[in-house]
Amino acid sequence: MHKQIAFIGAGNMAGALIRGLLADGVPAENLIATDLSIEQCKALEAATGIRTLQDNAAAVAEADVVVLAVKPQVLRDVALGIADQVQKHRPLVVSIAAGIRCDALDAWLGGDTALIRTMPNTPAMIQCGATALYATAAVSDQQRQQAESLMRAVGLAQWVEDEAMIDAVTALSGSGPAYFFLVIEAMEAAGRKLGLSAETAHLLTLQTALGAARMALESSESASTLRARVTSPGGTTERAIGILEDGGMRDLFERALQGARDRSEELSADLGAT
């Protein structure tokens, strides 16, 4: 039997999760979403067939699972507005709001909440996301399974047992798509400087990125081993890899992710204090 799931917020990520759940066979009547924008609600209804409301508390009152899919800056007010219903009905609460720590959100919701914090990334919007999940002590094994099924509807779901690791996840996979987009930009630009047309450089770069990612996903071997296999001694790949290594690429990525992790910690502290 499918649980009733209420999405507070009807933006892109909520829409992606709803479409993923529908594709997994969850009936539309088991899903409800709220949003202050009537236009946003109508668009989501038309696209998915689910029911929408403008009343957050009413949606929570009929839900087994509540997904908080609003911007972090407004989450405090949203949480305070549904706290009475959360305390009365005791649903599982799943937050996809970046940067809000569980202790702050639990306090806003009235305490002792079955709460799961997640960090999805934007490829979830094409059901190819990577999401980390952290559960508080009040969450049951069954609720963990419910949350995992929810996030697997849009891609990979991976648990972390220490909430502090969410900041590391934010640096790695949360911000990670932008790193790959930057690499794609750089390779395309280099290809054009070598004389390729813009279209050819673009298409070859994208297909190469896709192929490398699929090979890494489908292989049981490490990225290091796969790289070595295409790096013939004295060949073109070895020359290019040597230049990248000499340029300090590994150290640069390490410093970049450390900087993103540190900024995530700063933002969490600021948002949780509001």
Query: How many Cα atoms sit within 13 Å of 80 on the Cβ side?
Result: 5
Q: Where are the domains of the chain?
A: 5-162, 176-266
pLDDT value of position 23: 93
Backbone phi and psi for residue 116, each to the nearest 5 degrees, phi listed first: -125, 125
Query: How crowded is residue 146: how many other Cβ atoms within 10 Å of its Cβ?
Result: 19
Class of domain 5-162: alpha beta
Phi, psi angles (nearest 5°) of residue 159: -80, 145
Fold category of 176-266 in CATH: ProC C-terminal domain-like fold (1.10.3730)
Q: How far apart are CA 83 and CA 92, in angstroms?
A: 13
Q: How many other C-beta atoms are found inside a 10 Å radius of the C-beta of residue 200?
A: 13
Burial class (CB in 10 A: 0-12, 13-18, 19+), 212: middle
**Residue 155: beta bridge partners?**
129
Q: Report pLDDT for 65.
A: 97
pLDDT for the residue numbered 189: 98
pTM of the full predicted structure? 0.91
pLDDT of the residue at 2 = 72
| pLDDT score, position 72 | 92
Q: What are the tokens at 45?
A: 């209804």
- Check residue 274 and give its pLDDT: 59
For residue 68, what are its two tokens? 């908080």
Cα–Cα distance for residue pair 243/158, rounded to 1 Å: 34
Question: What residue ranges of the chain have pLDDT lower than 50?
Answer: none
**What is the per-residue pLDDT across 6-34, written as a single tens digit (0 to 9) for each?**
999 999 999 999 999 999 999 999 999 99
Q: What is the pLDDT of residue 262?
A: 96
